[in-house]
Chain A
């Protein structure tokens, strides 16, 4: 039991960091423009299938494909921003929710037509570490990539000019405009970064488990849970929330049937929303 718990714990931390990356994308977009991106899961699925296509047709190593897919994710996000979000940013909440959901429908519809809803798999095995506990290399690398990205994002937001622009715009868009910051372009960049993180999460998930075109939805829901746990709009909170969720998930499943895990997950989600909508760590950015 003790050993099973340790394995579960480590596994939870590794997979949790990937959840964290997906949630960081969602929470970044929320923090900057108060839009809940319902196309997040679809972008994660695009990341998965991008990896699959590059691997199966060009034989590209998923970790080489990663920057490519990330770039596509960035551009796709900026395109989505300019076509679907920009016009309605100042409109009612519902408009943004429905606009992003429409994007979700478009992507999933095309994806289903192309790939159907059957299971795909990137057939790329790195083996695993046996000692001190059993860990798959793909999960270790995924966690390393995730943590590097989280640190990188933090550095970008705090130390570079575009990053500071993003924080300025999320703080007060009108004031940022007056300071000469091109806020629309900054918003597009933020949205692009958010979807880039989603696409990267998709790549990492594709190296770990098999997936379907609808598989992104699960991770989108997890991202909501994590985002709320870490405080919507707080990237570091999202990473920590991801780790917590990963650990909770894997330790829950040691003690109870697997099917109960999502019930507890979503109950926790609603509970946190009701009791502490600003997240467990406060809502501060």
Chain B
């Protein structure tokens, strides 16, 4: 990420240049612990060569990547994005279109997916980021529905039937079996990248501006944060990786359809993941992803809860919102002040 142009220049110059920020980040035990934990979990199925375990970890890492991206908007900037799945879906569609129609490689598809999502965030940001609070949340919900219904009618993207790939695309990556492993490595890499970048944003001046914006937008503006630019960059930052991940995930599934690609439910699950772990923290979305996916897996396989798993999840969500609004990491940070360095 450090080769990229300085994405914060519009929100005010960084207090420290990016290399210095990275050097600082290296010295934070909490971040190293988080990343180390993710690497260990990520390598676990590689060492044991268990494919079922790999699929479980894949779901968790996917959730980490999406939740950490959303956290930049929701946790740092304080804007509720109900349509975060839009970036995932659009990236998926752009990627699949290139893969299917032009026979592009996965890397090109992922890059294009990320760029498309980033551009969408830029355009959307200009339009709807002027809205605040619930109005912004409603607008994102509307955008999500516009995308879903529009793509369902958009014939280059296959309309309601979507795009499907022939299994032969996997041949270029050493066959289906190898391709599944490859996509797994890439996803783990992306999840690590998002968590790292999320930390860098948090300790940068740009991140400070975002958090000031979250606490009081007008005050932040008075203090010199150029809030429209800062918000737009945060929105873009939260869009790029979901776009890349979308291309990756649907390549793996070989099929994309409008309803699963722009599923409001999955937007909200990502929100719940961030809330569960602790919004505005770096570790929160990681723990939230593990916790939520673990719980989901348990409920879906448990014979008693199987039928009412949605309700049980609802009860849990309600309890979290009512009693632990800061999420697990936020609660720990507030409760044990000494642990703060370990819980970024």
Using a CB–CB distance below 8 Å, which chain A residues touch chain B?
30, 34, 36, 83-84, 87-88, 91-95, 97-99, 101-110, 112-113, 221, 224-225, 228, 257, 259-260, 262-263, 266-267, 269-270, 273-274, 277
Contact = CB atoms under 8 A, between A and B. Distances in A.
B272 interface: yes
A270 B145 CA distance: 10
B317 A262 contact: no
Q: Is the interface of A mostly helix, strand, loop or mixed?
A: helix
Interface in B219-238: none
B325 A109 contact: no
B148 to A, nearest CB: 9
Contact of A36 (B78, B137, B143): B137
A19 B311 CA distance: 27
B322 A99 contact: yes
Given A84-B322, A87-B322, A94-B275, 16 more contacts: A34-B134, A93-B137, A95-B321, A102-B317, A105-B311, A109-B309, A109-B312, A110-B311, A112-B307, A224-B141, A225-B142, A257-B153, A263-B149, A270-B142, A273-B139, A277-B135
Contact of B149 (A83, A94, A112, A262): A262
B123 interface: no
Contacts of A98: 271-272, 275, 317, 321
Nearest to A35: B134
A228 B139 CA distance: 10
Given A101-B268, A105-B310, A106-B311, A262 B142 contact: no
A269 B139 CA distance: 8
Contacts, number: 121
B315 interface: yes
Q: Is the interface of B mostly helix, strand, loop or mixed?
A: helix
A221 B312 CA distance: 24
A105 B146 contact: no
Given A98-B317, A259-B153, A270 B143 contact: yes
A266 B318 contact: no
B321 A102 contact: yes
Given A95-B321, A99-B321, A262 B311 contact: no
A266 B314 contact: no
Sort chain B's interface into a size bin. Answer: 35 or more
Contact of A270 (B74, B80, B128): B128
A273 B310 contact: no
A229 to B, nearest CB: 12
Nearest to A261: B149
Interface string B70-96: 000010001010100000000000000
10 closest residue pairs by CB, A with B:
A105-B314, A109-B311, A109-B310, A102-B318, A106-B314, A102-B317, A113-B307, A270-B142, A266-B146, A266-B145
A104 B152 CA distance: 26
Interface in B278-321: 279, 307-315, 317-318, 321
Contacts of B5: none
Nearest to A112: B310
A59 B170 CA distance: 58
Given A109-B310, A259-B153, A274-B128, A97 B322 contact: no
Nearest to A106: B314
A267 B146 contact: yes
Contacts of B153: 257, 259-260, 263
